[in-house]
Structure 1
Amino acid sequence: MTPHRLWEWEGRGFDAEQAIPRADADRLIRAAQGPAGRLKGAQRAFDLFPDRVSARNLVGIVAAGDVSCEILPKIDREATPAHPASLRRQLISMLAVAHDLRIADDAATLLDTQQQTLLEILITRFVALAEDAVRRGMPRLYVAHADDLPALRGRLDPVRQFSALAGNPSRLACRYDVFSEDIALNQVMKAAILCLRLLARSMANQRRLGELALVYADVATVARSQLRWDRIVPDRANARWQPLLRLARLILGDQFQNTTAGSADGFALLFDMNVLFERYVARLLAPIADEAGWTLHAQGGRKPCLTGENAPKAGLFETEPDLRLERDGRVAMIVDTKWKCLADPAHEPKMCIDQADIYQVMAYARVYGCNRLMLLYPHHAGLGRAMPVDFTVTGSGAPITLTVATLDISDHATARQGLIDILGLYGR
């Protein structure tokens, strides 16, 4: 496979060094078009120009036949390009937290980020988890069967026996249960294994996936669109399979934050960095808020901006703050996450904040009666001074404080401590 790599929002000329040939770009764009279009807002992974192809704010991996492109996040586009391994490790770390995955908690993953693409890393971690789970035994359940047999097995189905089989007394309509491994959970695992066998380029991963496919030989092959996720009910019997199931959901596209599509000719695993950053912050913040006696609400709210005689009963223009922190039954703080690059306030007083983002949080303050607002951005090396920076909203009424802050997401411990320091929940 011919591998290519782009940074988030990076453009690459067709005649540039390490160029992506126009033919390769066309194939990658076609492979990503459907999956990206199903994301919220009908997005796209690439922009195509006469002289270049450019990535957008979707990151992940796109593969088309023997061509692939890895898109990595890079919020500080003005700084010297970081080593791909560090950015890949950062993305995997965010995915692990946001989707509750066991893919970034060992030394093997740190080594993989230096040697493999994002897709190959996910394949390697999936294989390792699957091998460990299978080694301890595949889950089985009693599955209902109905068949016409020469001897009674289980119980007789009188309706079928005296209707369809009325003229054939040599057969008995039987209904019985079989303790089987051909169940929904194993069908999902097999679907993920078969999908990844088409995509793995590492000889070791191809061999290991082939061995896993043999283990699942007696499990039915079910099309991705026909997988019965609703039949997989978490319980004590399958608890150890839940981390692997979450990773399979990610690969097979059963998540609203990302989208995937796969076949022998194309595959795309794409993440909207705005959504991923929001969920990453929410997952880190939830236990912090709980320990401090606050209630965290991610998304939701949906209070309308407009009501009145000419508005529907539910109102008009629903609001949906990213994070609402409540205490004693009132919204005390609203945090809106933004995956954007801030400028140093010492050189740019407005810090390159979008005016629309200011208007948005001001509307939240009014609708939710909240006097503490925060715009939270990822930190980067290009900022010359520490965040946060507080502003006072002008106008009449109760004073409103808007904090513009950045969060260092280089690792979980640093990000968690950053949230504690920035929000100051324990002292309120």
Structure 2
Amino acid sequence: MIKTITVREAYDWITENDVTATQFEELIRYIEEKYPNEQVLDQKYKRLRFINYVGVVQCSDVRYEIVPKITLSPVDDRKSLLEMLSITRFLPISFYEQVLNGEEKGDLLMAFLATFLERLLNEFGKGPYKTYERHEENLYALRGKLELSKHIRKNAFQKTKAYCAFDEHTENNSLNQLFKCALLIVKSYTKTHALTLHLERCLGYLERVDIIQFSQSKLRSIMFNRQNERFRDAALFAKLIVERATIYSKGRSASSFSFLFQMNMLFEKYIEVALKEAVGNNELVSQHAEKRLLRNKKSGYRNILLKPDFVINNKVILDTKWKSATYKGRSRYVQSDIYQMYAYVTAYKDVERCILLYPKQEGETEHPVWEVTDTEKTIEMCTVRVDEFSETVSELEEMLNGYFASPGT
């Protein structure tokens, strides 16, 4: 029986009251192994929480859902996460259908797997990808090329066989091996009849495909061409499964895998898509990297690269911050963020506003607007809704009103 624990990123704690000590240790060990250089967990004594990352971690018989804290309801937070992933194409497969059909009210993993299996099954229905693979085999009839030295070595006393090398048109290639590996990893976690049926049908197309273990080099060796390009999205998704999978053997074997996404990167990409909708592509530059803050007097080189998230119409700079802008009814900010915005507004002579943009949450207070001394430039804290894309676009339009032409003009 799979136990599902849903927590909000940087907010809800998981303790040994929620899971056994063994399950608690397994989660920590898995994260340390698969995300060694990333800060995924905030650990305290006998408790932990996920920070900076959202998604799903499947460890043995416990599934951890990590959702962004946007609304009061975890179901709505789950829906918002799926919509953000869909809109940004942060994953190689779109989740629009799951959002539209209300399937997000299930769990995140089922939404991910449903889309993956439907896409893969649709492509298999057009025919599995086949390649010519070289084989060597001792046969009773000559096929392809006779490998003379190996033939003599193997058939010195067997006159009725020939050791042959030949090319065979087969589905047993690395791409299909990847699909089979990914399908077998998630097989035991597809809990609905429809998903199980889709998965078994996919495996049916791969019946003659070998089961192999994938190394990083083997994963990187999978290439795409005109014949298999239609499988690209499904293959990238399968790679996510295989790359983050591991096997624990402590009395029993269990596959563990995850789909985790950096929330600050997802928020930034989501705002980028919303800004393009609000102000038009021609007036928006993302990750602008043309300005440097200082010049080295000895070398003459300009140093300290400035890289704001967005420059709009050369009048507004906007930097996204995935954190709460309010704490106990008061604005909360990090001074280094303000210094960074001051550096932007100093280097960009034509810029009039620098905005630190945070996700809007309940209980928002009025946030400050700072005037830069002896100028008419401002540094501001603003928040925007992220639970509904149309509302995000509308609030950005209102926030930036007067600094860009209408998208249709």
TM-score by length of structure 2 reads: 0.78
- Give the drift of 1:357: 0.9
Residue pairs, 1:31-46, within 5 angstroms: 31-38=30-37, 42-46=38-42
CA 1:143–1:305: 2 relative to 1, 3 Å: farther
- Alpha-carbon deviations, 1:186-209, whole Å to 9, x = none? 333223212212443446534542
> Which secondary structure does the structure 2 equivalent of 1:106 belong to?
helix
Q: Map Cα deviations across residues 235-286 of structure 1 (whole Å, 9 max, x no partner).
A: 4x55543443443344445xxxxxx344334323222211111122223334
Using the TM superposition, give the Cα deviation of residue 97 of structure 1 relative to its aligned residue in structure 2, in angstroms.
2.1
Which amino acid counterpart does residue 374 of structure 1 have in structure 2? I
Q: In structure 2, what is the equivalent of residue 104 of structure 1?
A: 95
What residue is the counterpart of 1:139 in the other structure?
129
Residues 305 and 380 (structure 1 numbering): CA distance in 2 closer, same or farther, change over 3 Å? same
Structure-2 change in CA distance of 1:106 and 1:292 (3 Å): closer
Alignment of 1:367-386 (within 5 A): 367-369=347-349, 371=351, 372-383=353-364
Cα drift, residue 358 of structure 1: 0.9
Residue pairs, 1:85-96, within 5 angstroms: 85-96=75-86
Question: Percent identity, aligned pairs only?
Answer: 22
What are the equivalent positions in structure 2 for 1:49-198 lying under 5 Å apart?
49-50=45-46, 52-75=47-70, 82-98=72-88, 99=90, 101-106=92-97, 110-114=101-105, 116-140=106-130, 142-143=131-132, 145=134, 147=136, 151=142, 153=144, 176=167, 178-198=168-188
| 1:129–1:276 distance in 2 versus 1, CA, 3 Å | same
Contact 2:5–2:64 (8 Å) recurs in 1: yes
Deviation at 1:118, TM superposition (A): 1.5
Cα offset, 1:368, TM superposition: 4.7
Could you say what secondary structure the match of 2:354 adopts? strand
Q: 1:223 aligns with which of 213, 228, 231?
A: 213
Partner of residue 358, structure 1: 338
Report the counterpart of residue 212 of structure 1 in structure 2.
202
Asked if 2 retains the 8 angstrom alpha-carbon contact of 1:25 and 1:53, the reply is: no
Answer yes or no: is 1:392 the counterpart of 2:392: no
The yes-or-no answer on 1:322 pairing with 2:303 is no
The structure-2 alpha-carbon separation of the partners of 1:214 and 1:413, relative to structure 1 and needing over 3 Å to count, comes to same
Q: How do 1:218-257 and structure 2 match up within 5 A?
A: 218-224=208-214, 225-229=216-220, 231-233=222-224, 235=226, 237-238=227-228, 240-253=230-243
CA distance in 2, matches of 1:286, 1:292: 5
Structure 1 residues 110-159: Cα deviation after superposition (integer angstroms, max 9, x where no partner): 53332x3212221222222222222232233x435364786463xx69xx
Corresponding letter in the other structure for 2:33: G
Aligned to 1:338: 321
1:426 — aligned with what?
Answer: 405
State the Cα deviation string for residues 168-196 of structure 1 (Å, max 9, x = none): 999687565x4433344433322321221
Q: Distance in 2 between matches of 1:91 and 1:61?
A: 11
Matches within 5 A, 1:10-21: 10-12=11-13, 14=15, 19-21=18-20
Cα distance in 2 for partners of 1:90, 1:323 equals 23
Contact 1:14 1:22 in 2 (8 A): no
Matched residue SS, 1:380: coil
What letter corresponds to residue 96 of structure 2 in structure 1? Answer: D
Contact 2:241 2:258 in 1 (8 A): no
| Corresponding position of 1:257 | none
Report the CA distance shift for 1:223/1:360 in structure 2 as closer, same or farther (over 3 A).
farther
Cα distance in 2 for residues equivalent to 1:30 and 1:261? 13
Change (3 A) 1:295 1:2: closer
Deviation per CA, 1:333-382, whole angstroms, max 9, x where unpaired? 4321111112399x64xx21221111112223334545232211112232
Q: Judge conservation of contact 2:70–2:361 (CA < 8 Å) in 1.
A: yes
Secondary structure at the aligned position of 1:394 is classed as coil
Match of 2:28 in 1: 29
Shift of 1:308: 1.6
Q: Secondary structure at the match of 2:308?
A: coil
CA distance in structure 2 between the aligned counterparts of 1:368 and 1:379, rounded to whole angstroms: 28
Tell me if structure 2 keeps the 8 A contact 1:361–1:373. Answer: yes
Aligned length: 388
- Say if 1:189 and 1:336 are closer, same or farther in 2 by CA, change over 3 A: same
Instruction: Decide which of 301, 310, 320 is 2:289's aligned counterpart.
Output: 301
Q: Take 1:64 and 1:201, find their aligned partners in 2: how far apart are those partners?
A: 15
Give yes or no for contact 1:187–1:227 (8 Å, CA) kept in 2. no
Whole-angstrom CA distance in 2 between matches of 1:137 and 1:92 = 30
In 2, Cα distance between equivalents of 1:344 and 1:272: 23
SS of 1:37's equivalent?
A: coil
2: CA distance, partners of 1:246 / 1:332: 39
Amino acid at match of 2:104: T
Residue 54 of structure 1 aligns to a residue in which SS? strand
Note the aligned Cα RMSD (angstroms).
3.8
**3-state SS of 2:102 partner:** helix
Matched residue type, 2:392? A
Q: Distance in 2 between matches of 1:120 and 1:317?
A: 45
Decide whether aligned partners of structure 1 residues 247 and 144 sit closer, same or farther in structure 2, where only a CA change above 3 A counts.
closer
Query: What runs of 5+ residues in structure 2 fail to find an aligned partner?
Result: 248-253
* Structure 1 residues 66-95: Cα deviation after superposition (integer angstroms, max 9, x where no partner): 22322221146xxxxx22211111111111
**Paired AA for residue 267 in structure 1:** F
CA contact (8 A) 2:39 2:52 kept: no
**C-alpha distance after superposition, 1:293-318 (max 9, x if no partner):** 22533x3627554442567x976544
